[in-house]
């Protein structure tokens, strides 16, 4: 829409596909009640929550700030609300587009906006004073006795709007890409931040523009458009407009080829890249640098500490807040910063220091994950890490709870770092991340992910001049397959690991791999499992690894139980328990109590079995070891069942079933369902 000038104020330029109809900025015409709001077209979906918030905000106070990214539909939502609430403002509605983020940089001055408002309110030209402050005072005086809505659209700074906020009974709504938090707080305003459209709302927008039949006929293309736009209103509006003249399949092909650049247009109001560029233009050099590096960071979000490593700037928190205030990044739970994928694509092109920043971020993940793993399992044999890149400070973690919280929050980004490092040939980092994630993956029962990460690490290990890395990678791929009950693949990789360890003459690696082969065999070949555990014990006679020896003793005891030799099993397990307690290893202690519980159960000492299992569960809960807690809960339920305590047994078995389902352990879930069915039959009285 071309600019129009009435009474010295520049007319609005509105986003194509967002507002329809002309914008009239009235000059002095003798009308006492100005109605300046632009007309909203029929294509309006959702935003009912925002409209309700505006209702509440107007009821609580007279100034409201509505902010969000360019192209998210702030003006649209506010105008729609105002038109539906016209009766609340009997003395009229004033509207000005302040053009705070105009592509041409020609923002409307406060003086021009004031003069336009005074003209629209019917103030004679000869009554309007020359100075801005005097004009503002007159404006406040004219509005003071009226109930008027004032919409200050597209504001870039508090200087633009400060003199445009009248007193009295009127309501002011300020929209913009910046939060203007300080100004809004000073005037006692409410703040409403617009989010992207939900999936249903986004689909509804397309349906209103294109029709339900068109969406059904091009269902696959529609799904891809929705996935690409991720609820960004301007992107959806641009594509819906273009789809009037072409197929959605052709538009999807352009999106695949060009990405966000496919949403560019000669008309800045119909161009998402133009909207994003104008937002970035307001940034300082440091803010632009940080914004670009955030855009290329792997994973869905970053913490402030990760951002500090990525940017090499320990004082990045202030920049992150500024980017948030400018609607360029979002902040979620745990103060994690993210950005919309379309914003990420646009901002990530040609970023200086891209490789350096990514290298620092991967180092941050490697060193923090290594430290976190040590907190989870301090008895795990360590290996030397290369020093981190300059400017990298690992996250400070104090205990197991903090380590688990960090892993949980950072997990998706850690996996993205594994893939990033693999693509860039940072093979040592890949292996280190796989190693450092392993304990966490086991305790959280991330079985499929664990296998995927170790397969990536195995490929990287082949590029390293470190034979132990290959032994470890094959062994852990084998363990991961075994956890998924892929017996053939598990034994194949474990066999390769053992062969490599024997070629190297590495006794410690041989012992560990024999132990894991025994563990993988236990379901199908208990005698073979016992042979490997016995071989591992013999190798431990030459090693100074007391915790690993205790693990192996317990495993040998477990295999002896299933061989029917309860005396040998008890001897092994009691020795293991003493070692684990002497070296303060609660994880190993819990697993040994599990074995002692099974020994008591097989010996029909069910009360003793319950005691062992309950102590083991208490220990694994302190470690947040969900995988082992599920198994122990089943054992405890079975012991209560043998004691005739059916209700207690059922509660435990159902709890275990919930664990298994959460962990996607379908085979284990099927087995515990059979136990539950058996217990339920026992709980029903015999009806004859």
Strands (DSSP E) contained in 371-486 are none
Closest CA to 106 of 6, 7, 11, 234: 11
Rounded Cα–Cα distance for residues 46 and 52 (Å): 11
Answer yes or no: are the C-beta atoms of 28 and 243 closer than 8 Å: no
Q: What is the pLDDT of residue 183?
A: 79
Rounded Cα–Cα distance for residues 363 and 164 (Å): 50
Classify 96 as helix, strand or coil: strand
Which residues are 10's β-sheet partners? 5
Query: What letter does residue 19 receive in the DSSP assignment?
Result: -
Residue 74 in tokens: 């702030």
Q: Specify the pairing of strand 9-10 against strand 5-6.
A: antiparallel
Answer yes or no: are the C-beta atoms of 573 and 603 closer than 8 Å: no
Give domain limits for the chain: 5-193, 199-275, 585-688
Q: What is the pLDDT of residue 60?
A: 56
Residue 229 in tokens: 């736009």
Residue 124 in tokens: 């004679």
**Based on the number of CB atoms within 10 Å of its own CB, is 615 exposed (0-12), middle (13-18) or buried (19 or more)?**
middle
Give the pLDDT band of residue 175 (cuts 50, 70, 90): very high
- Residue 63, pLDDT > 90, answer no
Q: Which CATH superfamily is domain 5-193 in?
A: P-loop containing nucleotide triphosphate hydrolases (3.40.50.300)
Closest CA to 94 of 54, 144, 38: 38
Query: What letter does residue 35 receive in the DSSP assignment?
Result: B
Only one residue has tokens 């609580």, namely 60
Q: Specify the pairing of strand 190-193 against strand 171-176.
A: unpaired
Mean pLDDT of 648-663: 95
Rounded Cα–Cα distance for residues 599 and 327 (Å): 62
Q: What is the pLDDT of residue 2?
A: 33
Residue 574 in tokens: 């009691």
Classify 276 as helix, strand or coil: helix
- Residue 153, pLDDT > 70, answer yes
CATH of domain 585-688: 1.25.40.10
Q: What is the pLDDT of residue 548?
A: 94
Q: What is the pLDDT of residue 606?
A: 97
Rounded Cα–Cα distance for residues 647 and 677 (Å): 13
- Mean pLDDT (the chain, rounded): 90
- Per-residue pLDDT tens for 291-348? 999 999 999 999 999 999 999 998 899 999 999 999 999 999 889 999 999 999 999 9
Q: State how far the alpha carbon of 374 is from the alpha carbons of 235, 362, 370, 371, 398, in Å.
A: 46, 18, 6, 5, 11
Answer yes or no: are the C-beta atoms of 19 and 154 closer than 8 Å: no
- Per-residue pLDDT tens for 238-260? 999 999 999 999 999 999 999 99
Helices of type H across 326-381:
341-347, 354-376
Mean pLDDT of 609-628: 95
Check the CA dihedral 454-459-460-461 and report its sign: positive
Buried b (16+ CB within 10 A) or exposed e, 142-161: bbeebebbbbbbbbbebebb
For residue 103, report the phi and psi dihedrals to the nearest 5 degrees: -55, -30
Rounded Cα–Cα distance for residues 680 and 688 (Å): 17
Classify 190 as helix, strand or coil: strand
Run of H or E including 172 = strand 171-176
Answer yes or no: are the C-beta atoms of 417 and 365 closer than 8 Å: yes
Only one residue has tokens 């852990």, namely 476
Residue 425 in tokens: 């040939």
Q: State how far the alpha carbon of 252 is from the alpha carbons of 216, 217, 243, 362, in Å.
A: 16, 15, 10, 33
Q: What is the number of other CB atoms lying within 10 angstroms of the CB of residue 462?
A: 10
Query: What letter does residue 25 receive in the DSSP assignment?
Result: -
13-22, 85-94, 159-168, 452-461: which has the highest mean pLDDT? Answer: 452-461
Give the pLDDT band of residue 686 (cuts 50, 70, 90): low
66-75, 318-327, 412-421: which has the highest mean pLDDT? Answer: 412-421
- Per-residue pLDDT tens for 3-37? 322 222 223 333 333 333 333 333 444 456 898 98
Give the pLDDT band of residue 618 (cuts 50, 70, 90): very high
- Per-residue pLDDT tens for 333-366? 889 999 999 999 999 988 988 999 999 999 999 9
Rounded Cα–Cα distance for residues 426 and 61 (Å): 56
More confident residue, 382 or 659: 659
Run of H or E including 351 = none
Give the pLDDT band of residue 185 (cuts 50, 70, 90): confident
User: What would you measure as the largest C-alpha separation in the chain, in angstroms?
Assistant: 109
Q: What is the pLDDT of residue 44?
A: 65
Rounded Cα–Cα distance for residues 311 and 361 (Å): 8
Q: What is the pLDDT of residue 26?
A: 38
Q: What is the pLDDT of residue 283?
A: 92
- Per-residue pLDDT tens for 465-523? 999 999 999 999 999 999 999 999 999 999 999 999 999 999 999 999 999 999 999 98
- Residue 600, pLDDT > 50, answer yes
Closest CA to 191 of 324, 65, 59, 330: 65
Which residues are 172's β-sheet partners? 63, 150
Run of H or E including 463 = none
Q: What is the pLDDT of residue 484?
A: 94
Residue 315 in tokens: 């004082």
Give the pLDDT band of residue 270 (cuts 50, 70, 90): confident
Residue 336 in tokens: 């994690």
Q: Specify the pairing of strand 149-155 against strand 93-97.
A: parallel
Write a three-state SS string for 593-614. Answer: HHHHHHHHHHCCCHHHHHHHHH
Give the pLDDT band of residue 40 (cuts 50, 70, 90): low
Which residues are 423's β-sheet partners? none
């Amino acid at each position: 829409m071309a600019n129009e000038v009435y009474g010295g104020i520049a007319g609005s330029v509105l986003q194509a596909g967002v507002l329809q109809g002309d914008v009239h900025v009235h000059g002095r015409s003798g009308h006492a009640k100005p109605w300046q709001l632009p007309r909203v077209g029929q294509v309006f979906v959702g935003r009912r929550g925002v409209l309700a918030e505006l209702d509440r905000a107007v009821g609580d106070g007279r100034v409201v700030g509505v902010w969000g990214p360019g192209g998210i539909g702030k003006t649209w939502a506010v105008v729609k609300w105002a038109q539906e609430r016209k009766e609340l403002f009997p003395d009229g509605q004033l509207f000005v587009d302040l053009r705070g983020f105009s592509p041409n940089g020609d923002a409307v001055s406060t003086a021009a906006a004031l003069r336009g408002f005074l003209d629209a309110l019917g103030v004679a030209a000869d009554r309007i004073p020359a100075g801005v402050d005097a004009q503002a005072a007159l404006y406040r005086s004219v509005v003071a006795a009226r109930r008027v809505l004032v919409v200050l659209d597209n504001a870039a700074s508090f200087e633009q709007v400060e003199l445009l906020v009248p007193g009295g009974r009127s309501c002011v709504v300020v929209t913009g890409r910046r939060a203007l938090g300080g100004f809004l707080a000073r005037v006692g305003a409410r703040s409403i931040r617009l989010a992207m459209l939900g999936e249903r709302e986004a689909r509804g927008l397309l349906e209103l523009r294109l029709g339900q039949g068109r969406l059904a006929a091009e269902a696959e293309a529609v799904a891809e458009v929705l996935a690409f736009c991720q609820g960004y209103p301007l992107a959806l509006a641009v594509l819906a407009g273009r789809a009037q003249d072409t197929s959605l399949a052709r538009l999807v092909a352009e999106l695949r080829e060009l990405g966000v650049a496919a949403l560019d247009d000669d008309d800045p109001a119909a161009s998402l890249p133009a909207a994003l560029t104008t937002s970035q233009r307001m940034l300082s050099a440091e803010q632009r640098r940080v914004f670009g590096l955030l855009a290329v960071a792997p994973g869905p979000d970053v913490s402030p500490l990760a951002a500090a490593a990525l940017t090499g700037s320990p004082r990045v928190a202030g920049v992150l807040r500024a980017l948030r205030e400018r609607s360029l990044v979002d902040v979620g739970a745990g103060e994690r910063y993210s950005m919309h994928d379309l914003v990420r694509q646009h901002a990530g092109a040609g970023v200086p220091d891209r490789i350096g920043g990514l290298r620092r971020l991967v180092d941050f993940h490697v060193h923090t994950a290594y430290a976190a793993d040590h907190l989870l399992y301090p008895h795990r044999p360590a290996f030397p890490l290369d020093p981190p890149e300059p400017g990298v400070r690992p996250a400070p973690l104090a205990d197991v709870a903090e380590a688990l919280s960090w892993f949980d929050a950072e997990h998706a980004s850690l996996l993205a770092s594994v893939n990033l490092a693999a693509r860039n040939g940072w093979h040592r980092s890949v292996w280190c991340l796989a190693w450092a994630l392993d304990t966490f993956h086991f305790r959280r029962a991330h079985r499929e992910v664990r296998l995927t990460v170790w397969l990536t690490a195995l490929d990287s290990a082949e590029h390293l001049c470190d034979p132990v890395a290959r032994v470890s990678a094959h062994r852990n791929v084998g363990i991961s397959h075994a956890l998924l009950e892929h017996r053939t693949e598990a034994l194949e990789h474990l066999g390769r690991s053992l062969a490599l360890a024997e070629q190297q003459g590495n006794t410690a690696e041989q012992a560990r791999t024999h132990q894991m082969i025994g563990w993988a065999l236990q379901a199908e070949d208990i005698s073979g499992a016992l042979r490997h555990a016995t071989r591992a014990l013999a190798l431990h006679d030459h090693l100074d690894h007391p915790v690993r020896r205790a693990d192996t003793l317990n495993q040998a005891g477990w295999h002896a139980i299933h061989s029917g030799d309860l005396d040998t099993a008890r001897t092994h397990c009691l020795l293991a328990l003493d070692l684990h307690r002497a070296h303060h290893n609660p994880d190993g202690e819990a697993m040994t109590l599990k074995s002692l519980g099974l020994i008591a159960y097989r010996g029909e000492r069910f009360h003793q079995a319950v005691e062992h299992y309950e102590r083991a569960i208490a220990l694994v809960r302190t470690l947040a070891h969900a995988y082992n807690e599920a198994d122990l809960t089943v054992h405890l339920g079975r012991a209560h069942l043998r004691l005739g305590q059916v209700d207690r047994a059922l509660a435990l078995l159902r709890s275990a079933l919930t664990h298994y389902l959460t962990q996607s352990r379908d085979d284990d879930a099927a087995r515990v369902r059979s136990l539950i069915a058996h217990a339920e039959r026992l709980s029903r009285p015999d009806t004859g």
